[in-house]
Structure 1
Amino acid sequence: MKTIKQRQVHLDFHTSEYIEGIGKAFDKEVFASTLEKAAVNSITCFARCHHGWLYYPSKLQPEMIHPHLANHSLLLEQIEACHSRRIDVPIYTTVQWDGYLARQHPEWLCLDGQRDFINSQGIPEPHFYYSLCLNSGYRDYFKAHLLDIIDVVGEEQIDGIFMDILFRVACDCQHCQKEMKGKGIDHFSEINRLAYSEIMLNEFKSEVTELIRQRAPKATIFYNGSHVGFADKQNVDAYSHLELESLPSGGWGYDHFPITMRYARNLGKEVIGMTGKFHTYWGDFHSLKNQEALEFECFNMLALGAGCSVGDQLHPDGELSPGAYSLIGNVYRQVAMMEEACQSAAIPEVEIGVMTPEETWVAGGHSLRIDPSLIGVNRMLQELNYQFDIIDSQMDFSRYKVLILPDVIGYSPQLQEKLNAYTENGGAVIGSYHSLLDEDHAQNDWYGLDFLGEGDFERDFIMPNERIGKELPKEEFVMYLKPAKVKVTSGDVLLESVRAYFNREGETFCSHQHAPSRRQAGAPAATINGKVVYFAHPVFNIYRKNAPRWVKELVKDVLSELIPHKLLRHNGPNTLLTTVNRSEDGRQHLIHGLHYITQKNSEEIYTVDGIIPLYQIEIKLLIGCQKVARVTDVVTKESLPYRIEGNYVVVEIEKIMGHKLIEVVTD
């Protein structure tokens, strides 16, 4: 049973000293009443902002209270009013950004290799984005600040502490140099400094968590670094729960949350998803997200097993936006109707495990640590309607019928040994491109291949056949990224590549892009050895880059062979996203169906603008020999018609208007 409240607001209050009358319009009863009417049951409020100002009557640093704060007890009154209505109030404070301290204590700032301050956002001044070094004197300052919050607010009144901005920063200041020297780390390498910053952050979090648990043992604890992934697993005990900041219109995009959540839900912590009410990004005052977009983002959180948090920013005068809380309330009242069912059936039912490249991420690599291949496989499996987790090599493989190693999963003897055991016990694997192949391990008996290096052509072709690509025309299809070149030593060739005439280089070129097929077979494009399938091309990166349907068809045919009895089927379009969650006793199954079309009407962002309804949808859930007791619509409580077809229960749905939540209860 979940204990973290599931309908949260994250209320930013980063407020300039050049604005007067801060909080002058704040009315604690109106504030709490507005939240209650919007079905909000938790709101994160500010003790300290990125500008460096405090919003509570600090005993330690009264001079740091916002110079124009009309009511020095703003935070205390927010807590008092919300608690009177059973609304939790976790307390926010910033960690590595503080504009005031950056000006007053430049000796606490992170430095790069050229001795310049590190602006983590790359935004020209004015800003508050210079990063504070947690190895400097600021570390003691921050701990004293936390104790001040606890002393002033009172231990019993603190529901949680949300600490923001803990980033990996390649700091080369004297303090970090000293620490790296003690650990035998070469500080002249930026990659080394980034790698060390993870060690430092874990040490800092453990130290701060111990402090909070001593002084406010009931408080929830979360450290926000704008992403949760494999690196956070190493110190997950420092967290009470996880919050996945992921504003689709704010730089994260619509791929980030499902990928991050499919991994984070395996870390043994309750999870909250976090989007925003903003049309774009944090600080987008006086903007409202389309309701359809907010519905999709929140309902997708529920579908993947998370609670909901919506980001807002309080106006400097302290008055909540009626429009914002009308919007949030319209969505959260729907969430409230589904909440009990989602909490009682919260275990994802899955058939595929996708290995994350994040485990072998090199410091300084791709943004937010999400490799393009992971985005590609996530999109492909969603469109093909498979149920899957994203996992690392330390997790239990036996839960999955198929494992996918997308494009760039690094080799290790431990991983290879674990995969050997998995396939010996009947598991199937799909690997691609460089996964488990490199020059040091060129011969791979598990794949049944010798790795000969990179392919001969920047773009070559594949030739579909009656086993793989069987619904495609039997002619060449271009592959947009260079493959690995392999030779089969055992097993069979599933798919042949076709050679191009030449690369576009030197004096050779043809037409606008690449040369056509020479109509000669090349190296294997796909192979199978037992139940281990290998694609020579980076098929998942290709799908992320160009989304060619023929690549998805190849993967679909392989998965259909490896998983003959798919967990969930439907007759709708590939834009219908589905998930299945179950109760601990396995009798309650919740099927989420979401049909919201993301579109890019603007130059910069994707959003959802309207709902396209679906009619006469049939969803088939694999139940085996279980007997169905009832099938209901969770929101309307209406019984839904169903029939049994072999090992499947087939649910008939007259209409899906954005989202449908179906409960199947078995005896």
Structure 2
Amino acid sequence: MRFRQVHLDFHTSEAIPHIGRQFSKQQFQAMLQKGSVDSITVFSKCHHGWAYHPSEANEIHPELDFDLLGAMIEAAHEIGVKTPVYISAGLDEKLTRRHPEWLIRDINDNTNWVDGFMKPGYHQFCFNTPYLEILVNQVEEVVRNYDADGIFLDIVGVRQCYCHSCVQTLRNEGQDPRNKEAVLALGERTYTNYSTRIREAIDRIKPGLPVFHNGGHIRRGRRDLAQMNSHLELESLPTGGWGYDHFPLSARYAQGLGMDFLGMTGKFHTTWGEFGGYKHPNALRYETALSIANGACCSIGDQLHPEGLMDPATYELIGAAYREVEQKEAWCSGTKNIADVALLSCEAAVSQKEEKRGDRTGTSDAGAVRMLLEGKILFDVVDLESDFSQYKVVVLPDQITVNPILQTKLNDFFAKGGKVLATGRSGLNEAGDAFAIDLGAAWEQENPYKPDYFRPHFELSSLQNAAFIFYSEGQQVRLTNGTLLGHRENPYFNRDVFTFCSHQHTPSAQQDNGPGMIESSNGIYFAWNVFADYADKGSLALKECVLYALNRLLPDKTLNTNLPAQGIVTLMEQPAEQRFVNHLLYATPVKRGSGVEVIEDLIPIYDTQVTLKLDKPIRRVYLAPQMEDLPFDASNGTIRYTLPKLECHQMVVLES
């Protein structure tokens, strides 16, 4: 898998003339070289539905008079650049006017992405219609006629559809289309049939050609869906709706699946389809560094101008990031992540059969990852199939109720010395009326007061002792065999029309209303949804209480550092090279406009201290790619070094 990829969109209306008129092999090649690009996803078919090459399975764009796809592949291959080919699968706007009966419909007969035909935008096709045959033929034509290095199919996934075909299918099977479970089950079967048909069609022509089905997010816990791909592409444009929390969460899950994967960001200031929008070069430097620091290759989204001319400003912008990536690749291939903690994803563990577009992180998962990153805890994101035994602590965030299978798995983990950090409803049985695992507490009821207060029985690192407001749902529990680490204080009353106090909420009545944080032989339990609360409110007290708990559960952490909160650290091992690579990153996203996070200034950080506890002796420590030796101390398996200066991203290599 190539490290320095570009994903080249070309969604071009039939109302625009002179398509590809300025395309030049020399200019195309020059821009790829300017951007240090080694793979570019080029296009066969766009969301408007047009082909950009002569076609019998489709129709060539009415304003294009040559084989643009073939010209791009020839130009790229001539300079050693790979060319996966893009086909819009779920969208084909020219065909929607001819066959609106093949479109996905909701229960009210509205279409999606836009809900009718009197608004600008695209409409999505259902694969349980004759449209699937058309799409398969289009894929076969590209694979047969062009030297593609892979196929990228866009806008696909498990859908809930009430089109006439889906309703009739269910009725023919004796099922009720008003039953949501039956509709979702048909959506699962439809997607499986689609991906199987595509794989079979390709393999009849070019067996094993890489294929990726893009739905904008890799769903944690759906290994079956992930394995329908040959590799994974984690679409995660921080300014385009994904945010800066999404990629670390997604990557820390994807690497555990054992599949090659890349991180896909964009050159845009906002998101796809933006012409004339540019990120600051420092943002792309940081985002590509974040990819390789998490074991991923890189992809940057661009969109070609209708006349076919590659934009020099874009490829200078991309090149500023990719020239750095090129120098670092030798230390970023064949890696595995070192982690002390496993975060059991709510998305993976809580039943979520329906895919919700736009909900790519989930508040509990996002809050947990943000705390782990800020606390410099080495972690993986796992699902119910993962092996817990390789971790010291498993985090059960907020909503992880425990069925008998998970109960057995956790009890085996405890028997081998593992610990959990459980919060909120996590640890309760599926009925939600008792703990399924021993956390030193007995459940009584959901706390009727909200918000309420937590008074820790320990000092926070940045704040004096107080009763701290917790906004999220809390559980009322009693102590059984654990140690109390803090108690709850309820307010005088809940805020109501007849009982309210001040501007927001009622103060604490300063009474001990039972346990809020309990330590037992199996770990620590927190009686609130602290991770969702942190994702929503970002309270310092929440984070410092959780990090106190994690540090208490991890007396022998693999990594300690004084890198500030916004810094990110990962530790990768390259077994084939007999070395570890410690990645350190630092940047501060700020909000501009309405909710857009941008990175502009990269502030240097000086004298970052790192302590590592490794199971192998270390003979050399150096900076990569600079190849400068770094002084270090080693004793009893502990390695200590100080990084003199960190600007954006630095790799520290430890050779054993």
Name 1:152's counterpart in structure 2.
145
Q: Which residue number corresponds to residue 74 of structure 1?
A: 68
Pick which of 242-251 and 194-203 moved more: 194-203
The one-letter amino acid of 2:52's match is Y
| Match 2:57 to one of 51, 56, 60 | 60
The Cα shift of 1:590 comes to: 0.5
Pair 205,582 (structure 1): closer, same or farther in 2 beyond 3 Å: same
Q: 1:590 is paired with a residue of what secondary structure?
A: strand
* 1:142 and 2:135 are equivalent in the alignment: yes
1:370 to 361, 364, 376: 361
Q: Is the 8 A contact 1:50 1:128 kept in 2?
A: no
Structure 2 residue matching 1:312: 3-state secondary structure: strand
Tell me the amino acid that sits aligned with residue 31 of structure 1: F
Q: 1:642 to 1:121 in 2, by over 3 A?
A: farther
Provide the rounded CA distance (Å) in 2 between the counterparts of 1:421 and 1:162: 41
Is residue 23 of structure 1 aligned with residue 20 of structure 2?
yes
Q: 2:395 corresponds to which residue?
A: 404
AA of the residue aligned to 1:23: G
* Counterpart selection for 1:610 from 578, 601, 622: 601
Q: How far apart in 2 are the matches of 1:526 and 1:220? A: 49
Contact 1:46 1:55 in 2 (8 A): yes
Q: Which sits farther off after the overlay, 202-211 or 305-314?
A: 202-211
Q: Is the 8 A contact 1:253 1:606 kept in 2?
A: yes
What is the Cα deviation at residue 509 of structure 1?
0.9
**CA distance in structure 2 between the partners assigned to 1:634 and 1:576 by the alignment:** 18
Q: Given residue 144 of structure 1, which amino acid in structure 2 is its aligned partner?
A: N
| SS of equivalent to 1:580 | strand
Q: Secondary structure at the match of 1:331?
A: helix
What corresponds to 2:279 in structure 1? 289
- Paired residues of 1:57 and 1:152 also in contact (CA < 8 A): no
Pair 1:82–1:284, CA change in 2 (3 A): same
Match of 2:225 in 1: 235
Change (3 A) 1:192 1:297: farther
Identity %: 35
Match of 1:450 in 2: 442
Question: Partners in 2 of 1:562 and 1:532 — Cα distance?
Answer: 7
Q: How far apart are the structure 1 equivalents of 2:315 and 2:7? A: 13
Report which stretch shifted further, 127-136 or 86-95: 127-136
User: Offset of 1:84 from its aligned partner?
Assistant: 1.2
Q: Aligned with 2:247: secondary structure?
A: helix
In 2, Cα distance between equivalents of 1:43 and 1:137 = 31
SS at match of 1:500: coil
1:528 matches 2:522: no
Aligned to 1:88: 82
Aligned ranges 1:648-659 → 2 under 5 Å:
648-659=638-649
Structure 2 residue aligned with 1:131: 124
Q: Please tell me whether residue 11 in structure 1 is matched to residue 42 in structure 2.
A: no
Q: Equivalent residue for 1:113?
A: 107
Change (3 A) 1:301 1:405: same
| One-letter amino acid of the counterpart of residue 61, structure 2 | H
Query: Residue 536 of structure 1: CA displacement?
Result: 0.7
Select 2:380's aligned residue among 386, 389, 412. Answer: 389
Distance 1:68 1:439, change over 3 A: closer
1:134 Cα offset (Å) = 0.2
Moved more, 455-464 or 472-481: 472-481
Aligned partner of 1:18: which letter?
A
Q: Give the SS at the match of 1:660.
A: strand
Q: What does 1:581-660 correspond to in 2, within 5 Å? A: 581-584=572-575, 587-624=578-615, 626-644=616-634, 646-660=636-650
Post-superposition offset of 1:174: 2.5
Distance 1:470 1:235, change over 3 A: closer
Shift of 1:151: 2.7
For 1:160, the aligned partner's letter is: G
CA gap 1:548/1:121 in 2 versus in 1, 3 angstroms: farther
Matches within 5 A, 1:203-602: 203-230=193-220, 232-344=222-334, 346-359=335-348, 360-362=350-352, 363=354, 367-437=358-428, 440-444=431-435, 445-466=437-458, 469=460, 472-584=463-575, 587-602=578-593
2:168 counterpart of 1:174? no
Alignment partners' CA distance in 1, 2:239 and 2:287: 11
* Structure 2 CA distance for aligned equivalents of residues 197 and 245 of structure 1: 22
In the alignment, the residues of structure 1 paired with residue 552 and residue 175 of structure 2 have an alpha-carbon distance, to the nearest angstrom, of 49
* Partner AA of 2:42 in structure 1: C
Partners of 1:365 and 1:150 in 2: CA distance: 32
Distance in 1, matches of 2:430 and 2:142, equals: 55
Runs of 5+ consecutive residues of structure 1 not aligned to the other structure? none
Contact (CA 8 Å) 2:523, 2:553: kept in 1 or not?
no
Q: Deviations over 1:420-449 (max 9, x none)?
A: 111111100011111132572523252243
Q: Supply the distance in 2 between the matched residues of 1:600 and 1:236 (Cα, whole angstroms).
A: 33
* Structure 2 Cα separation of the partners of residues 658 and 440 of structure 1: 48
- Contact 1:353/1:404, CA 8 A, preserved across alignment: yes
**DSSP 3-state at the match of 1:93:** strand
After TM superposition, the score normalised by the length of structure 1 is 0.94
| Native 8 Å contact 2:425 2:432 kept in 1 | no
Residue 43 (structure 1) aligned to one of 40, 47, 51:
40
**Counterpart Cα distance in 1 of 2:34 and 2:164:** 52
1:97-147 deviation digits (Å, cap 9, x = unpaired) = 11101111112111221223x223569854342110100010111111111
Q: What is the RMSD of the two structures over their aligned residues, measured on CA atoms?
A: 2.0
Q: Equivalents in 1 of 2:596, 2:113: separation in Å?
A: 22
Residues 288, 123 of structure 1: alpha-carbon distance in 2 compared, 3 angstrom cutoff: farther
- Does structure 1 conserve the Cα–Cα contact (< 8 Å) formed by 2:484 and 2:519? yes
Q: Counterpart of 1:7 in structure 2: which amino acid? A: R
Quick one: structure 1 residues 303 and 187, their matched pair in 2 at CA, closer, same or farther if it must change by over 3 Å? same
Which whole-Å deviations, capped at 9, do the CAs of 1:270-321 have from their partners, x for residues lacking one?
0011000011111111221111111111100000110000000000010100
* Alignment CA distance shift 1:366-1:414 (3 Å): farther
Contact 1:25 1:317 in 2 (8 A): yes
What is the Cα deviation at residue 613 of structure 1?
Answer: 0.6
Query: How big is the shift at 1:564?
Result: 0.7
Query: Equivalents in 2 of 1:572, 1:295: separation in Å?
Result: 19
2: CA distance, partners of 1:181 / 1:426: 53
Q: Secondary structure at the match of 2:380?
A: strand
Change (3 A) 1:366 1:318: closer
The answer to whether the Cα contact below 8 Å between 1:385 and 1:578 also exists between their aligned partners in 2 is yes
Which of 197, 200, 214 is the equivalent residue of 2:190?
Answer: 200
Q: Decide whether the 8 Å contact of 1:220 with 1:241 is kept in 2.
A: yes
Report if the CA contact (8 A) 1:8-1:308 is conserved: yes
Maintained 8 Å contact 1:361/1:369 = no
Q: Is the 8 A contact 1:373 1:540 kept in 2?
A: yes
Distance (Å, rounded) in 1 between the aligned partners of 2:76 and 2:183: 43
What letter is aligned with 2:610?
Answer: I
Question: Partner amino acid for 1:315?
Answer: H
Deviation at 1:87, TM superposition (A): 0.6
